[in-house]
Amino acid sequence: MGLFRIRSKKGRALLDDDDDLPESAPTPTGSSRTVPKSRSTPRKLDGRGKAREPKNGATSVTLSSSTVSRKSHVNGDASNSNSNSSNSHHPASLEPPSLEMLPQLVDDLKEVDYDTSGDVAARTLRMLFALSEHATHSDNRTALVRDADGQLVPVLLEFLGRCERSSSEQYLVLLVLNNISIPSENKRIIAIDCGGAQVLSRLLCDDPSCHLMAIILVNLTFADADLRNELVSPRSSIELVEALSYALRVASLSPAEHNNREPLSVADENGPFPPRKLLADVMAEDHRQRRNWNETSQQTNPQTSTRQQQQHPRHDWDILQKSGLVFDASKQLYPETARWCLCALKNLTRPSRDALSAHALMDTGIVPLLLRIITVGGYIPGTQQHHSSTRHSGNPISSLALSPNYSTGSNSKPSDPSSTGAKPTALVTTGLLDDEIPSAMNSPASWDSNSMHDAALFTILNMSVIPAARQYLREEDAVHILSLIADYRKPRSSSGSIIAGVPSTPMHDNDTTTHSELKQQQLQSLKARMALAYLVGSEGHYGQPRSRSSSTSIYANPDNSVLHVSALEAELLVELLANTLHHRAKDGPGGYSAATFTVKGTLYAIRCLLTNHTNQVTFFATTGVKLNALLLKAVALHSIQQVLTIDAEAAEHACFSLYLQSYFGFKNRFLPLSIREGD
C-alpha cells in the first residue's frame, strides 16, 4: 500500500484510494480535495502539482464525496439556490446516488447540449463521481462500465470531447474515468471496446497541459500483455506510443525552448492531425533547432569561444540549455504530464513475448530524450566520448555538439535491423567539469519511485531486454550513460578503476546525501547495471547467440568492463533474486514492490553478468553459496511447479548460471548446509 497525492496551488490534495488492482499492481491511498461545482468561468487545473505514489504501478486519482457538500456550503446562498432549483427539476438528486439511477444519469448527460457548463451536467457528474470514488466501490466501478447497456463510458468520452479546456466539468469527467479505469476487468472495455485510449491520446495531444489524461492512460496501460500489444499494434489506429511521445516532448520543453520555436500546425481543413503526424512535425522542429544551433556554433571564433568558456563557464552552460543538448528537469512546461507519459511508456514496454512497444518507441525518435533525462555527471549524450576512455576521468565535457540527425528528424526507422544511426561530430569544446555543471546534481539518489527519471530508466531497462532494441540503444550511447549511473560515486583507485567492496563516498565535501537517498541511489545503480548486462553481456559469449551488431562503431561494440559488479552490487542482486523468486517486496528506502522486477529478468541479468570472469569471482566470494541455492531452487520450481512461475527460458538462465559458477564448487563449498541458509 502506498501514498499518492497531487498538491494543488492552494495546498489541498487529490485523493487516491485502495483499489482491487491485480496482484502485480500496488494499492494507492491518499487524502481528499474539494470537488468544484459548475461555474460560468473555467477553473484552471494545477499542471504543476507534486505527487508521491506507490512503487512501479498504475496510479489513480479519486476524491471524497464529503468534500463536495463542504464546497457547496462554502459557495453560499447563490450556489444553494441553484442546487435547489435543479433538485426540483430532478427529485432523484435529493437521494444518495445509487446504481439504480445509472440509466437516468446517462440519459441526463446525453441530453446536455453544447453548453456543458450547466447545472444538469455538474449535478450528474458529481453523482457519478460519488458512485466511483472509494476503493470500497470497486463493485460500483465495474458495474458503472457494464450496466445501462454499457453506455456510460461512450457518453463520458463524447461529453469530454465537448468540454471546455480546463473547465470544472472536464475535470470531473476525467476523475470519473480515472476511477473506473482502475479495475483490471474494465481496462479492455474502456481502452479498446469504447475507444477510450484513442480518444484520450488525441485529447492529450490537443492539450498536453492536462496531466489527468496521462494518468488515466497510465491506468489503462497497467494491463496484461495482450492488451498492451493491442494498444501498440502497428495495425491499430490508436497511435498511443506516438501520442505519449508527442505529449512528452512538448511537456518537457523549457519555456525558453518553447518560445524559440515556430508554432506548429495541429489541424487542417480535414480535422486534427493524428499523433504520428504531430510527432513527426515536432521532431522535425527539433532537427531544425539543432541544425541552427550547430551553424551558429561553427561561426563562433574558436579563440574567443575558448576564452569565454574559461572566464564564464556558467554562461556556456546557459547556451547548452538553450540548444536542447542537455535536459533540466526543473525547467519544463508541464512536468506532471511529462512524468506520467513516461510512466505510461514504462508500462507499455514491460517485458512480454512481443517487442511491438519497443519497436514503436524506437520509431518515435524519443529515446534520445529519455537518455538525456537519466544522464548524470554533466555528460552530453551523443557526443564523441566513449565510456572506455572517460569512465574514470571525472567526466569532463570535452566535446559537445550533436549532428542534426541526433533527434531522428529523418524518416528512417531505427527499429529496422538494417538501420544504423549516424553518429554526431564534435563541434564545440567546453571547459566545464562535473562540479561546474548543474546536470551533475542529477543524482540517482533523488530519483524516487515513479519520478520521471525512474520511469525513463525503467523504460530503457525494459527495452534492453529486447534483442532487436540492443543495437539501437548501443548506437545511441546508452552503454556509457548507463555506466555513469551504475558507477555513480563508486570509490576509485589512483588509476581510476572501481574499488570493489568499498561503500560509496560523497562526490563533494559539502555532499549531504542521507542514508535513505544512498539506498535509493543503490537501487537505481542496480537497475542501470542490469540494463548494461543485457546490452553488453547477452551476445557473443559462450552459450549465447552471436552479436547482432553489424557496425564497427565503438558505440555498438562497448568495453566489457562496464559489466564489473562490486561486492555490494552482487549482494543486492542476489537479494533481488531471492525476493522475486519468493514474490516478496523490499520495504524501506531503496525498496520495491513484489511486481517491480521479474524473476526471469533477474536470472537473465545474473547469467549475462557471469560471462565476466571477474564477476564470477566476486559472486563466489560474497554470496556464492546463497546464489547457487537460489539458482537450484529456480530449476526445481520449473520442474515441479503446478502454477507456471519459472518458464523454460528462465530455468535455462538458472542452469547456465550454475554452470558458470560450477568451477568454484571444486574448490570450496558449493551449496548451503541447511535450507534456511539459502533462503
pLDDT in tens, 581-600: 999 999 999 999 998 999 99
3-state secondary structure of 2: strand
Between 319 and 662, the more confident residue is: 662
Last residue of a domain, one of 187, 217, 241: 187
pLDDT band for 289, please (50, 70, 90 cuts): confident
Last residue of a domain, one of 187, 215, 250: 187
User: Average pLDDT of 448-455?
Assistant: 93
The Cα–Cα gap between 449 and 590 comes to 9
* Cell of residue 132, nine digits: 466511483
Give the list of residues 6+ apart from residue 202 with CB closer than 8 angstroms, or none: 243, 272, 274, 275
For residues 320 and 213, membership in a common domain is answered with: yes
Q: Is a pLDDT exceeding 90 seen at residue 259?
A: no
pLDDT band for 381, please (50, 70, 90 cuts): low
- Quickly list DSSP for 385-450: --HHHHTTTT------PPPGGGG--SS--TTSTT--PPPP---------GGG-GGGG--GGG--TT
Give the list of residues 6+ apart from residue 324 with CB closer than 8 angstroms, or none: 257, 286, 289, 290, 293
Residue 414 is predicted with a pLDDT of 54
Give the list of residues 6+ apart from residue 530 with CB closer than 8 angstroms, or none: 461, 464, 573, 601, 602, 605
For residues 329 and 457, membership in a common domain is answered with: yes
For residues 525 and 503, membership in a common domain is answered with: yes
What percent of the chain is modeled with pLDDT above 90? Answer: 50
Contact 401, 480 (CB under 8 A): no
Between 549 and 657, the more confident residue is: 657
Interval 184-229: pLDDT, tens: 999 999 999 999 999 999 999 999 999 999 999 999 999 999 999 9
pTM: 0.78
Task: Give the strand pairing for 51-52 and 28-29.
Answer: unpaired
Residue 293 is predicted with a pLDDT of 72
For residues 569 and 555, membership in a common domain is answered with: no
For residues 326 and 375, membership in a common domain is answered with: yes
Contact 178, 212 (CB under 8 A): yes
For residues 256 and 280, membership in a common domain is answered with: yes
Q: Is a pLDDT exceeding 80 seen at residue 555?
A: no
Residue 12 is predicted with a pLDDT of 32
Residue 596 is predicted with a pLDDT of 92
For residues 432 and 554, membership in a common domain is answered with: yes
Residue 419 is predicted with a pLDDT of 47
For residues 207 and 181, membership in a common domain is answered with: no
* Cell of residue 459, nine digits: 523504460
For residues 540 and 614, membership in a common domain is answered with: no
* Cell of residue 317, nine digits: 552552460
CA angle 298, 302, 305 (to 5 degrees): 100
pLDDT band for 67, please (50, 70, 90 cuts): very low
For residues 178 and 203, membership in a common domain is answered with: no
Q: Is a pLDDT exceeding 60 seen at residue 369?
A: yes
DSSP letter assigned to residue 111? T
Number of structural domains (the chain) is 3
Interval 138-172: pLDDT, tens: 889 999 999 999 999 999 999 999 999 999 999 99
The Cα–Cα gap between 171 and 163 comes to 9
Q: Give the highest mean pLDDT range of 315-319, 373-377, 630-634.
A: 630-634
Give the list of residues 6+ apart from residue 435 with CB closer than 8 angstroms, or none: 507, 508
- Quickly list DSSP for 188-255: HIIIIIS-HHHHHHHHHHH-TT-HHHHHHHHHHHSS-HHHHHHHH-TT-S--HHHHHHHHHHHHT--H
**Cα-trace Rg, the chain:** 26
347-356, 394-403, 605-614: lowest mean pLDDT where?
394-403
Q: Is a pLDDT exceeding 60 seen at residue 292?
A: yes
* Phi and psi based region of residue 589 (left: phi greater than 0; alpha: psi -120 to 50; beta: remaining): beta
Range of the domain at 7: 2-187
Contact 147, 128 (CB under 8 A): no
Interval 495-542: pLDDT, tens: 444 444 444 444 444 556 788 999 999 999 999 999 999 999 988 777
pLDDT band for 546, please (50, 70, 90 cuts): low
pLDDT band for 624, please (50, 70, 90 cuts): confident
Residue 63 is predicted with a pLDDT of 40
The Cα–Cα gap between 32 and 447 comes to 26
The Cα–Cα gap between 575 and 251 comes to 37
For residues 575 and 546, membership in a common domain is answered with: no
Contact 94, 127 (CB under 8 A): no
Residue type at position 40: S
Residue 327 is predicted with a pLDDT of 79
Q: Is a pLDDT exceeding 70 seen at residue 6?
A: no
What percent of the chain is modeled with pLDDT above 70? Answer: 65
For residues 544 and 574, membership in a common domain is answered with: no
Interval 303-341: pLDDT, tens: 544 445 444 444 454 555 555 556 788 889 999 999 999
Residues counted in the chain: 679
Last residue of a domain, one of 137, 169, 187: 187
Sign of CA dihedral 402, 405, 407, 413: negative
Contact 345, 361 (CB under 8 A): yes
pLDDT band for 679, please (50, 70, 90 cuts): low
The overall longest dimension of the chain from CA atoms, in Å, is 88
Task: Give the strand pairing for 2-3 and 28-29.
Answer: parallel
